[in-house]
A and B are shown apart, each in its own frame.
Chain A
């Protein structure tokens, strides 16, 4: 008599299901790894390379062709070759041209060969900044101008060559990291990032909680107010950011005019241009723009709290603040901590808002703005990538924390 037990291992049905699952996931995995994983690897690669914005253009030989002394007996086709790079030699340089009908080339330089109408010249190596000129005598039969056009424009000379690209070679350096960690600037950037992230997150949560408490009762117009309070989040960031810049403009801004009129200040304040006010203002903007999101989540959670509990508390004579402190707040703690961590990460990642409000000036340059500043304003892509690596390392830390402590609680 054999023992009866459940089948072990993976059966054919389970295998089929897994295969189907992977084939459904495949498109997403493919495109996401193409656009997320690959760039991340690229960022690591670039961060170790001394590379500027100008190095993105591949180093290639340039050839130009024209007709010299047109109409004279010693007329000649002139080819000028140049390596425009100042530090990279180009190897295996060859240039090609097609000789138009009606033109006959005279004596060719040694490196050149003519087969039919195709001219091929093998040059070899072009040193950095080197220029070469070739003059080939030519006889023309027919209308001079048409032939000149044909020579110079219709059949353009092409040149090819191999150059060592800084993007693909195996030369590495720690220069970028040394540069970004260097000195006071890094401390300023870190301080701005921490201030912005911590206060932006906490502020948005507190204001969201306050707004949710206001709207957690039904009255006429509740729906309208709820929709209204979501406006800052739904509107395009570029529209609201420019509106804020406009509103707080030191010369024609309404906020300044209002403050002067109310007698709060006698001189106009440059809200987005002064330290440390600019950093406070961008944080206030962040709170203003994202309190709706926390408000929405907290309100949803509040409305799912059982009302029996409050009735029991009423019977026991709890006062409104006691009910909030001892009943509502503990019930909301889960969503508040999840929101805190997620908003913390997203505020840390925020780029557009600060970029549009101050461009990173006046002490508001956070890490993400620094990526842009280094890579595009100073044209040092390598340093920008190094900052991006620092950001990524911080994020890994945050998400470790997130999965360790929070996700279990909320079942994410």
Chain B
């Protein structure tokens, strides 16, 4: 790769790819925002980028370079001979070209900073490439995460016929005011989503409590007490957590059909904790092991028995871990789909995920389905963002479950 170690080679290559990536990003963003056609030009943007990349390697003040690059992009784009072509209103055109120009000028100068025209050291070359890849990575990951969620929210606010006409037009008619939320209102009024929300909520909360009630003593025993078969037990917990739900769902379906537990909330509340107990036990025992045993021994010396030690010493110390585990279990129960889908048939006791599954029919407009998806996503996202610290800790603590 030694041929890359010249500013006049690395510069144009990075510039070409980078300007093409930026043009694509701005075009997609503007298409999604306005519904008008925006399109990156392949060869033209690569060529422009190559020239600009070469220019960015010029030894000049970086402000002047950035301004010059931005000006070139802006003018070329507006005359229709640049990295991006479009058919839209004058205002949108100026805005899009301006955005592309400013971002392009600033970022390209930044990437090529300390990467002069002539021969480069290995460091200079690699750092330029790393800055390029970093920028690419941020754009790529942010786009792939945001686009689906943006489409989900926007589809729920638009009518199906409008989307069939132009699937790219996510612009909102703000004059409609509250009527924008019509599909949400219909879900709550006609499709019982208020009840589903409540059912999902209390099923998840019950699952959390039952899971904790079972897994705390179990985790403590595995973490602290000496007994024969401890290693085997802790391994079998891990094993159980690898058995796929669909394998268990079949006999559970049969057993519940025979005993009449199918189609009852009781059945769901019985089965959900069992799917989460192994995970919770595994996460908690890891945390309990990290607590200093001396504190508990001091408690024992002072005349507490083991159960009192757990209640008065271990649990208060483990509160952050309990919060993480509870959040994680809540998330699993809230998002659970397979069991709810197989075991619940009666629309009166649907959980939220089961309710959304019932919206997936050709007779129900698409925006209802997406509104349902938003309703299911928002609470778990709010919890997640509000308590992100606990959540990430919980996720890393032992959760490799999908």
**Chain A residues in contact with chain B, CB under 8 A?**
14, 17-18, 20-22, 24-25, 27-28, 31-32, 34-36, 38-40, 42-43, 46, 56, 58, 167, 210-211, 213-214, 223, 225-240, 242-244, 246-247, 249, 251-254, 256-258, 261-263, 288, 290, 293, 296-297, 300, 319-321, 338-339, 342-343, 345-352, 355-356, 368, 371-372, 375, 381, 384-385, 388, 391-392, 395, 398-399, 403, 407, 412
Contact = CB atoms under 8 A, between A and B. Distances in A.
A262 B233 contact: no
B148 A240 contact: yes
A392 B239 CA distance: 11
Interface stretch (B52-60, B171-179, B185-193, B218-226): B218-226
A307 B366 CA distance: 52
A403 B235 contact: yes
B214 interface: yes
Interface stretch (B74-82, B100-108, B290-298, B388-396): B388-396
A256 B277 contact: no
Contacts of A240: 148, 152, 373
Contacts, number: 276
A214 B9 CA distance: 25
Q: Which of B145, B146, B149, B239 has the most CB of A within 10 A?
A: B145
Contact of A254 (B151, B331, B392): B151
B141 interface: yes
B208 to A, nearest CB: 16
Contacts of A263: 39
B28 A258 contact: yes
Contacts of B166: 257
A256 B166 CA distance: 11
Nearest to A36: B240
Contacts of A40: 243, 247-248, 251
B360 A242 contact: yes
A242 B127 CA distance: 41
A194 to B, nearest CB: 16
A35 to B, nearest CB: 4
Interface of B: 24, 27-28, 31-32, 37-40, 122-123, 126-127, 130, 134, 137-138, 141-142, 144-149, 151-152, 155, 160, 163-164, 166-168, 170, 213-215, 217-218, 220-222, 225-228, 230, 233, 235, 238-240, 242-248, 250-252, 254-255, 257-258, 271, 273-274, 277-278, 281, 306, 331, 334-335, 337-338, 352-353, 356-357, 360, 366, 369-370, 372-374, 376-377, 380-381, 384-385, 388, 391-392, 395-396, 400-402
Nearest to B155: A246
A374 to B, nearest CB: 10
Given A240-B373, A391-B246, 15 more contacts: A21-B225, A27-B213, A28-B277, A211-B137, A225-B141, A225-B142, A233-B395, A234-B380, A236-B335, A238-B353, A240-B152, A243-B373, A257-B167, A261-B168, A346-B400
B243 A395 contact: yes
Given A252-B366, A297-B396, A21 B227 contact: yes
Given A234-B384, A321-B126, A39 B255 contact: yes
A257 B152 CA distance: 16
Contacts of A320: 123, 126-127, 130
Nearest to A368: B246
Contact of B134 (A214, A251, A407): A214
A210 B254 contact: no
B24 to A, nearest CB: 8
11 contacts: A31-B274, A36-B243, A235-B380, A236-B353, A242-B370, A258-B28, A258-B168, A320-B126, A339-B400, A351-B244, A395-B244
Contacts of A296: 392, 395-396
Contact of B226 (A14, A210, A398): A14
Contacts of B402: 290, 293, 343, 346-347, 349-350
B235 A238 contact: no
Contact of B217 (A27, A213, A351, A385): A27
Given A381-B254, A395-B243, A28 B366 contact: no
A239 B377 contact: yes
A246 B151 contact: yes
Contacts of B213: 27
Contacts of A403: 235
A20 B217 CA distance: 10
Contacts of A399: 239, 242
A319 B122 contact: yes
A38 B248 CA distance: 9
Contacts of A39: 247-248, 250-252, 255
A399 B239 CA distance: 7
Given A21-B221, A214-B134, A352-B338, A229 B376 contact: no
B271 A35 contact: yes
Of all A-B residue pairs in the complex, the 7 with the closest CB atoms, nearest first, are A349-B244, A239-B373, A39-B251, A18-B227, A24-B217, A21-B225, A42-B251
Nearest to B270: A35
B151 A20 contact: no
Contacts of A412: 238
Contacts of A246: 151-152, 155, 366, 369-370
Contacts of B243: 36, 40, 349, 392, 395
B246 A372 contact: yes
Contacts of A247: 147-148, 151
Contacts of B149: 231, 235, 243
Given A39-B252, A236-B377, A391 B247 contact: yes
